[in-house]
Amino acid sequence: MQTVIRVQEQPFNPAEEYSLRPPAPECGALVTFIGTVRELAGEHLHCLTLEHYPGMTEKALQTITADAHQRWKLTDITVIHRIGRLEVNDPIVLVSVGSAHRADAFAACEFIMDFLKTQAPFWKKETTAQSDHWVEAKDSDQQALRRW
């Protein structure tokens, strides 16, 4: 089983990630989630700034991916999360999970995202032409955890 965790300022390219590190030969299903920067409803998002807690972030992601490996039979997990300044459409996070068959890969990918959103110490700040403000956590993210 392969696990890759990266927290980086640089952009990432999903196709490149796949070709540089193809899934293990035992993998028959690879589910990849990419979270991107969304435009705001009423005004233009100038940029999104992601802060994190160096050290704890990597530790939290390692715990989450280890839990996923315990729960499902997985061949590969890749988690890449960007920090710093991002703009609309930029990829923020990539979670790619491989398993022999698709059910485990779909479930584990959702599991990892649900825990990342509530346990990994990242914070988003939105900047518009008028102001900037920290994004508030959503109750729905906490509720999503209950299914696990």
Partner 1 sequence: MFNLVFFAALRERLGCSQLQWPVRAACVNDLISELQAQGEPWQSALARPDLLCARNQTMCSRHTDIKEGDEIAFFPPVTGG
Binding site for partner 1 (CB under 8 A): 35, 50-53, 55-56, 59-60, 81, 92-93, 113, 116-125, 134-137
Smallest gap from residue 112 Cβ to partner 1 (A): 10
In angstroms, what is the minimal distance from the CB of 2 to partner 1? Answer: 22
Roughly how many angstroms between the first and final C-alpha of the chain, as a whole number?
22
Please, which residue, 26 or 39, has the CB nearer to partner 1? 39
Quote the least distance from Cβ 116 to partner 1, whole Å. Answer: 5
What's the CA gap between 98 and 17, in Å, rounded? 14
Nearer residue to partner 1 within complex by CB, 27 or 83: 83
**Nearer to partner 1 (CB atom), residue 13 or residue 119:** 119
Tell me how far apart the alpha carbons of residues 134 and 79 are, in angstroms, rounded to a whole number: 24
Strands of the sheet with 74-82, listed across from one edge? 2-8, 74-82, 91-99, 29-36
Cβ count near 78 (within 10 Å): 23
| CB nearer partner 1, residue 26 or residue 40 | 40
Q: In whole angstroms, how close is the CB of 53 to partner 1 at the nearest point?
A: 6
76 three-class SS: strand
